């Protein structure tokens, strides 16, 4: 979590930092701060968002051409002005911004206090600033060596940028566990937690690897390891466009991203699903196909919405590819003593490619000899770099904290994989394969149709904006959709929402039903249709209020439910891709009506880089 930015060059650094922080606010928004080096070094920081920080900025910061900035998601120390970054060392020689956690900070802090070093904040980051300064002063080494020596004593994760007042011509950046990207301009460099603040200035970037330290002057970048081995940086070209990271006329990123789904699914198909006559082609899996096809078991790991996509994957792989699947929360998997066999295939799903628990679970699975594949959205992020092979979802940048288009693109990739394996194993007939591919390519058009009915969904949302509790039910492929629908509602509107397999309702949640609590039932026409109709009757028999997601033309449920959201007819295996869309819109409209900050819900962050 936390977003960090930096700049060194000829420009006025402040606007670069502030624009960058606004783009990174999805990573945390408890407090914000900048440090700019002009005639002297000035720091401004405060609790709150970047717009709050802007109120503290004055002309005196305008002249600096070197600077760093930070937007925080608090781990150590409550969000307040003092704990906000940047942090200055005790004698004011170093200023630092940091994303990650220094696990041994308490011991380091005690040892520094014993040596009369004074602390102002409760953060682990200030310990690092003081440790660097302590080594710098005691050993009389330069700033770079002081940083490398300090980092060699640190246990934990960091993406950090350091400024030294005595050496104002450089920034020192380092990475272990938390992402850091450097944009390469013409006699200028841009640093950020991801590429979004950089893309408007340059498309040439260097992704730092764990253990890298970069010493950056405006005319030169030197990349080293902590142990001082120099290495040639690899400059890559970004393929995102500035338009992709703006709201594009929508009120919120989340709404824009919901409406982008037809395009992002098409982008995820492109070059992979061509025609009913040709095979699905996933280039990233080419080298591992034999092992994937032969797999006895697939273990899918992820967190949050990505875990929900994994659940849809379980149904797809078992149904189509006849491979047994387990879906695990990465955070549970990594701390158990899981049984992993050499012929298991582990699939890690992550939008950001940076989720700490998912990364740790990948490392554990690799240690135990499994082949690990990744399904990620952010190109060049940590997970694709640590996995054996994988498939990118081409959803484009997802900025809204609540995931929407990433989910449908993850499910699209899982469906492509399952269909491809099924075909290679000879489990589907040519005719069924052609039908499936035809249906698959019609999905974007069908989503467009659902989106055209957004005003009907908004009207229903109006009726339920004051709800305090809600229940989401689904069966089969639609059970993960119920979970995802409930997650969307609770995370952005703060209405308590519980997702449940519809048949399990009888074992507990049925007790909650009253005339006020909306029960959202995902009940499109599939093999469980008759069963879910019975579940709806059970709710209605207890005077419950039912909002149902149904297949167009369904009159049976329409007559029973209080409200319906219609989706086009679709093959069971793709039902999740369509049925989730009205639920995303429903949550969105409710949250807006309740005055919630839809793109930046309280306490959450887009990319959870702490465990
Ligand atoms: C956070 C985000 C969720 C996301 C989850 C997993 O909780 O708010 O939207 O689903 O992390 O993130 P990942 O990047 O690994 O998919």
Of ligand 1's listed atoms, the one at least distance from the Cα of 604 is: 8
Q: Choose the residue to mutate in 355, 587, 611 for probing ligand 1, maximizing ligand atoms within 8 Å of C-beta.
A: 355
CB 160 within 8 A of CB 173: yes
Nearest to 314 by CA among 324, 301, 302, 303: 324
pLDDT, tens digit, for every residue of 170-213? 999 999 988 899 999 999 999 999 898 999 999 999 999 999 99
> What integer pLDDT is reported at residue 603 of this predicted model?
84
> What integer pLDDT is reported at residue 511 of this predicted model?
86
Which residue carries 């249709």 as its tokens? 529
Average pLDDT, the chain: 93
Ligand 1 surroundings by CB, under 6 angstroms:
303-306, 350-352, 355, 358, 401-403, 604, 606-608
pLDDT, tens digit, for every residue of 490-505? 999 999 999 999 989 8
CB 352 within 8 A of CB 395: no
C-alpha distances out from residue 71 to 79, 210, 456, 497, 535, Å: 11, 22, 38, 29, 46
Please count the CA atoms within 13 angstroms of the CA of 545 that sit on its side-chain side: 12
Q: Choose the residue to mutate in 1, 305, 329, 597 for probing ligand 1, maximizing ligand atoms within 8 Å of C-beta.
A: 305
3-state percent helix, strand, coil for the chain, nearest multiple of 5: 40, 25, 35
Domains in the chain, please, with CATH? 2-244 (3.60.20.10), 247-442 (3.40.50.10490), 453-597 (3.40.50.10490)
pLDDT at 241 over 90: no
CB 171 within 8 A of CB 161: yes
Which residue carries 């992709």 as its tokens? 244
**Is residue 325 very low, low, confident or very high in pLDDT (cuts 50, 70, 90)?**
very high
The answer to whether 2 is a known catalytic residue is: yes
Q: Say how many Å lie between the CA of residue 235 and the centre of ligand 1.
A: 28
> What integer pLDDT is reported at residue 505 of this predicted model?
87
The least confident of 159-168, 562-571, 598-607 is 598-607
> What integer pLDDT is reported at residue 144 of this predicted model?
97
CA 310 – CA 213 distance, rounded (Å)? 35
Of ligand 1's listed atoms, the one at least distance from the Cα of 308 is: 10
Q: Say how many Å lie between the CA of residue 308 and the centre of ligand 1.
A: 11
The protein residue with its alpha carbon nearest to ligand 1, atom 4, reads 304
Q: Say how many Å lie between the CA of residue 275 and the centre of ligand 1.
A: 33
Q: At what angle do helices 304-316 and 479-493 cross, to 10 degrees?
A: 170
pLDDT at 243 over 80: no
Percent of the chain with pLDDT over 70: 100
CA 564 – CA 467 distance, rounded (Å)? 18
Contacts of 28 (CB under 8 A, 6+ apart): 1, 2, 3, 71, 72, 73, 74, 605
Contacts of 467 (CB under 8 A, 6+ apart): 495, 516, 517, 518, 590
Catalytic residue among 22, 45, 525, 606: 606
The answer to whether 606 is a known catalytic residue is: yes
Q: Is 361 helix (H, G, I), strand (E, B) or coil?
A: helix
Query: pTM of the predicted model, to two decimals?
Result: 0.85
CA 365 – CA 420 distance, rounded (Å)? 24
In 56-139, which ranges are continuous DSSP H helix? 105-114, 124-139
Q: Say how many Å lie between the CA of residue 488 and the centre of ligand 1.
A: 12
Helix (H) or strand (E) holding 422: helix 405-424
pLDDT at 258 over 90: yes
pLDDT, tens digit, for every residue of 281-311? 999 999 999 999 999 999 999 999 999 999 9
Which residue carries 């240690």 as its tokens? 367
Burial class (CB in 10 A: 0-12, 13-18, 19+), 118: exposed
pLDDT, tens digit, for every residue of 526-569? 888 989 999 999 999 999 999 999 999 999 999 999 999 999 99
Q: Say how many Å lie between the CA of residue 606 and the centre of ligand 1.
A: 6
pLDDT, tens digit, for every residue of 61-81? 888 999 999 998 887 788 899
Edge-to-edge strand order for the sheet containing 87-88?
87-88, 94-102, 156-164, 171-176, 212-217, 220-225, 230-231
* Sequence-separated contacts (24+) of 330-339 with Cβ below 8 Å: 330/301, 330/302, 330/303, 330/355, 330/357, 330/358, 330/360, 330/361, 331/303, 331/357, 331/361, 331/611, 333/299, 333/301, 333/361, 333/364, 334/360, 334/361, 334/364, 338/299, 338/364, 338/365, 338/368
CA 29 – CA 353 distance, rounded (Å)? 20
163: number of Cβ within 10 Å: 26
Helix (H) or strand (E) holding 234: none
pLDDT at 138 over 90: yes
pLDDT at 583 over 90: yes
Of ligand 1's listed atoms, the one at least distance from the Cα of 401 is: 8
The least confident of 163-177, 207-221, 234-248, 261-275 is 234-248
Give mean pLDDT, residues 112-126. 94
Q: Choose the residue to mutate in 382, 606, 609, 610 for probing ligand 1, maximizing ligand atoms within 8 Å of C-beta.
A: 606
C-alpha distances out from residue 335 to 137, 176, 280, 329, Å: 41, 21, 36, 10
How is 491-516 classified by DSSP, letter by letter?
Answer: HHH--EEEEEEGGGGGGTGGGG--SS
Helix (H) or strand (E) holding 294: helix 289-294
């Amino acid at each position: 979590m936390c977003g960090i930015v930096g700049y060194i060059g000829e420009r006025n650094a402040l606007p670069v930092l502030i624009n960058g922080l606004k783009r990174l606010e999805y990573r945390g928004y408890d407090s914000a701060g900048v440090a700019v080096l002009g005639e002297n070094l000035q720091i401004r920081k405060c609790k709150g968002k970047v717009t709050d920080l802007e109120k503290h900025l004055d002309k005196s910061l305008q002249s600096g051409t070197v600077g760093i900035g930070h937007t925080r998601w608090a781990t150590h120390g409550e969000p307040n002005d003092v704990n906000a970054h940047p942090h200055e060392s005790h004698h004011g020689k170093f200023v630092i911004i940091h994303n990650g956690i220094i696990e041994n900070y308490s011991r380091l802090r005690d040892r520094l206090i014993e040596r009369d070093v004074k602390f102002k904040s409760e953060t682990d980051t200030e310990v690092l600033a003081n440790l660097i300064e302590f080594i710098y002063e005691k050993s009389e080494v330069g700033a770079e060596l002081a940083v490398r020596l300090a980092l060699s004593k640190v246990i934990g994760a960091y993406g950090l940028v350091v400024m030294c007042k005595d050496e104002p011509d450089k920034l020192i950046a380092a990475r272990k566990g938390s992402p850091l990207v450097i944009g390469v301009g013409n006699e200028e460099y841009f640093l950020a937690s991801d590429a979004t603040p950089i893309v408007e200035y340059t498309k040439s970037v260097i992704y730092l690897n764990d253990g890298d330290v970069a010493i950056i002057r405006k005319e030169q970048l030197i990349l080293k390891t902590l142990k001082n081995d120099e290495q040639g940086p690899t400059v890559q070209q970004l393929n995102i466009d500035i338009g992709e990271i703006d709201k594009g006329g929508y009120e919120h990123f989340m709404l824009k991203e919901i409406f982008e789904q037809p395009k992002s699914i098409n982008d995820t198909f492109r070059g992979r699903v061509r025609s009913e006559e040709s095979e699905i082609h996933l280039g990233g899996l080419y080298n591992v196909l034999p092992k994937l096809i032969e797999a006895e078991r697939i273990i899918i790991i992820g967190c949050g919405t990505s875990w929900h996509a994994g659940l849809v994957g379980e149904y797809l792989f078992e149904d189509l590819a006849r491979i047994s699947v387990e879906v695990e929360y990465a955070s549970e998997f990594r701390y158990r003593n899981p049984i992993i066999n050499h012929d298991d295939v582990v699939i890690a799903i992550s939008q950001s490619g940076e989720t700490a628990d998912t990364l740790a679970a990948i490392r554990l699975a690799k240690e135990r000899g499994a082949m690990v594949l990744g399904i990620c959205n952010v190109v060049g992020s940590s997970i694709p770099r640590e996995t054996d092979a994988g498939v990118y979802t081409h959803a484009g940048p997802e900025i809204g904290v609540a995931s929407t288009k990433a989910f449908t693109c993850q499910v699209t990739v899982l469906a492509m994989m399952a269909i491809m394996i099924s075909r290679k194993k000879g489990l589907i007939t040519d005719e069924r394969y052609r039908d499936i591919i035809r249906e698959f390519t019609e999905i974007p058009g069908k989503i467009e149709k659902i989106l055209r009915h957004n005003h009907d969904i908004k009207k229903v949302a109006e009726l339920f904006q004051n709800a305090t509790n809600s229940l989401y039910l689904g069966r089969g492929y639609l059970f993960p959709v119920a979970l995802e629908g409930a997650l969307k509602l609770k995370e952005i509107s703060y209405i308590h929402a519980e997702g449940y397999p519809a048949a399990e309702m009888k074992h507990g949640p049925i007790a909650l039903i009253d005339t006020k609590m909306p029960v959202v039932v995902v009940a499109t026409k599939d093999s469980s249709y008759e069963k879910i109709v019975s579940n709806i009757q059970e709710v209605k028999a207890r005077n419950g209020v039912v909002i149902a997601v149904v297949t167009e033309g369904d009159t049976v449920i329409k007559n029973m439910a209080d409200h319906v959201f219609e989706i086009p007819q679709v093959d069971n295996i793709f039902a999740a891709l369509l049925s989730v869309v009205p639920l995303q819109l429903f949550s969105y409209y409710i949250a807006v009506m309740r005055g919630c900050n839809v793109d930046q819900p309280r306490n959450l962050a887009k990319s959870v880089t702490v465990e």
